[in-house]
Structure 1
Amino acid sequence: MLSSRPPDWTPEQFTTWWRGEHADFGRRLPGLLAYRHGEVVFDYDHPDQPAWDGNAVLTFASRETLDAALKSPEWAAAVAHVGKMKGKRIALITDDVDLMAAGRVV
């Protein structure tokens, strides 16, 4: 997920909120194996004004586990916590492959 902060928040406020009180909601998702957050420190395409402020990667064992988490009350609570903050986001489901893994054949 890529997200941008509300227009009246500083990047520092957004990162503190995301890694603090909002992360508390995300960590409660059933079946969640890993939850990582990255703060955008430079945007090569928009060096003067980054298009995004952060990204999150939530890891689940399977698509079925993810789908169950997205139907859970914990997900509903996390979405409600975001509220109408007026930031923007792009949420994607990806199937990651480690391209540096030993013996990787293309």
Structure 2
Amino acid sequence: MYNLILLAAKPSDWTHDEFIEWWRGEHADMTYALPGLRRWHHTEVLEAMDDNHSAGWDGMSVLSFDSKDDLDAALASEEWGNAVAHVGTMRGRRIAVMGEERVMVPEG
């Protein structure tokens, strides 16, 4: 799998719960449409291990595709453009990184 990993923080005028509801609700509807999307895991951040370095984040999404080419095609798609437009000028913070997934401990 080739993953797009997004770590995001809410806008200052939103509550954590509002942001998670928006992300897993109306914004999720935009994400489901991405071509080639094979898996999507979303984590609501409920606590940080080290307040000096890790605090201030509200959620993380891992969007998985079969290959880098499939992710690149999704990022070039109209559906991605719609999702970006939906975020608009939200004013929250985010980190976005991409890379190859390696399973270190298999399920089961």
Same fold (TM over 0.5): yes
TM-score (norm 2): 0.88
**Does 1:78 pair with 2:67?**
no
Q: How many residues align?
A: 101
CA-CA distance at 1:70 after TM superposition: 0.1
Q: The residue matched to 1:32 in structure 2 has which SS?
A: coil
Aligned residue among 72, 81, 87 for 1:67: 72
TM-score (norm 1): 0.90
Distance 1:60 1:82 in 2: 21
Q: Which one has a bigger Cα radius of gyration? A: 1
Runs (4+) off by over 6 Å:
none
Distance 1:87 1:101 in 2: 34
CA-CA distance at 1:100 after TM superposition: 1.5
Gaps of 5+ in 1: none
CA-CA distance at 1:15 after TM superposition: 0.4
1:57 matched residue in structure 2: 62
- Which of the two has greater strand per residue? 2
Higher relative contact order (CA 8 A, sep 6+): 2
Percentage of pairs with the same residue: 48
2:12 matched residue in structure 1: 7
CA-CA distance at 1:96 after TM superposition: 1.4
